[in-house]
Structure 1
Amino acid sequence: MARKLILGSSSPYRRELMERLHLDFETFKPEIDEQALPDETPQALVKRLAEEKAIKVAGSMPNAQDALIIGSDQVAVCHDEILGKPHTQDRAVEQLMSFVGQRVTFYTGLSLYDAREGKSQTVCEPFYVTFRSDISEAEIRRYVALEQPLNCAGSFKSEGLGTALFAELSGKDPNSLIGLPTITLLELLRNVGVNPLAQQD
């Protein structure tokens, strides 16, 4: 019998990525404290939060005791500063203005928690975005008004018009920018015997 698979997120973007993988899954949003610990690195922060989210789902969602649970978290880092979600238009404009001509690193934490075994596989996936050096403030304000990226780390949506702000992308998996590195997720799932290419209809 196939193991229940749970995505510990309410993000429609992560849900859409999961749907593309032809996996049966449920969603559940865990509530955790996402504040960084003193002197915590961005890599350690996203790994800890991704794992905490997955474990929280196991303890909060009914009938999750035998499930495989996916947790994910993301931050952007520019000028050695951790940047979260902007939540307001003014903050989004401010973030994007600070990115002009800069390379921004996005760290995505990914955790696959096996609730039956009480074991996690947790990784941090980096991805790099270089922003155009000739972006005007008017372009940025128009972009924010059009796409309203207020709940996105880094204040843009790479699956939409956000690419108009970019000069270059580099990294293992562009899906990391959307919040779920699917190449690595499929590796972690194969480690526990889940492979959508091997499953029978």
Structure 2
Amino acid sequence: MSQAIILASTSSYRKLLLEKLGITFETCSIDTNETPQPNETAPALVTRLAIAKAIAGAKDREKGIVIGSDQVAVIDGEIIGKPLNAENAVKQLMRSSGKAITFYTGLALYNIENESIDAQHETFTVHFRSLTESQIRYYVDKEQPFYCAGSFKSEGLGIALFDKLEGRDPNTLIGLPLILLIDMLAKQNIDVLSQSR
């Protein structure tokens, strides 16, 4: 492969998702301020942060393609991020119970050599079952989804919280929309289905 691929994230979930594509990549730790700007919409927020992460991941490098990604959920019109603790996770899930919640995942590819940026976002809607507080507390205690937007891990027991999922790519919900990423990599002449990559 002519271009090194760098995932600007230390998330084990995003790393596992990218490994599905069978491409060689490295990860890097980045530090970005994820505070929403005044009146910023969810799509604008995740796109801006994905770009910021991709650019931050390019620091001190001369070439390569850097992948940045960010995700938020929107509940009752309010942007919700990671809960960070059990009580916030319970509150988020109580708000989600019986509702359709939309997740926005931003994805950015930064080509270090020519300084070009391709940034887009994907949406994915989760229809939650009507859940009791005891069910929610059991779930939060079991999986401790404190660093997951929306307070669940859909790849684990979190699937039991849902009635229906709607979207192009279920990987979007975990934090890295692979179908969109494959399209974006193709624009950089990286074909994940070719040995000559």
| TM-score under structure 1 length normalisation | 0.96
Letter in 2 for 1:100: S
Q: Distance in 2 between matches of 1:65 and 1:74?
A: 28
Deviations along 1:107-131, one digit per CA (max 9) or x if unpaired, are: 0000011011101100010000000
- Other structure's SS at 1:198 match: coil
Measure how far apart 1:136 and its partner are: 1.1
Partner of 1:139: 135
Partner of 1:162: 158
Q: Which runs of no fewer than 5 residues in structure 2 stay unpaired?
A: none
Letter in 2 for 1:115: I
Measure how far apart 1:200 and its partner are: 3.7
- Other structure's SS at 1:167 match: strand
Measure how far apart 1:172 and its partner are: 0.8
Partner of 1:15: 15
Q: Distance in 2 between matches of 1:115 and 1:65?
A: 6
Q: How many residues align?
A: 197
Q: Distance in 1 between matches of 2:64 and 2:74?
A: 33
Percent identical residues: 49
Moved over 4 A (4+): none
Measure how far apart 1:198 and its partner are: 1.2
Q: Structure 1 residue aligned with 2:170, among 170, 174, 177? A: 174
Q: Does 1:150 align with 2:135?
A: no
- Other structure's SS at 1:77 match: strand
Partner of 1:55: 55
Partner of 1:41: 41
Q: Which runs of no fewer than 5 residues in structure 1 stay unpaired?
A: none
Deviations along 1:56-82, one digit per CA (max 9) or x if unpaired, are: 1112xx4x2211000000000010000
| TM-score under structure 2 length normalisation | 0.98
Partner of 2:93: 96
Q: Distance in 2 between matches of 1:43 and 1:200?
A: 35
Deviations along 1:155-188, one digit per CA (max 9) or x if unpaired, are: 0000000010000000111100110000000000
- Other structure's SS at 2:50 match: helix
Measure how far apart 1:199 and its partner are: 2.1
Q: Distance in 2 between matches of 1:195 and 1:29?
A: 26
Q: Distance in 1 between matches of 2:73 and 2:65?
A: 27
Q: Distance in 2 between matches of 1:140 and 1:98?
A: 11
Q: Distance in 1 between matches of 2:195 and 2:49?
A: 31
Q: Distance in 1 between matches of 2:145 and 2:124?
A: 19
Cα RMSD (Å) of the superposition? Answer: 1.0
Letter in 1 for 2:62: Q
- Other structure's SS at 1:110 match: strand
Letter in 1 for 2:35: Q
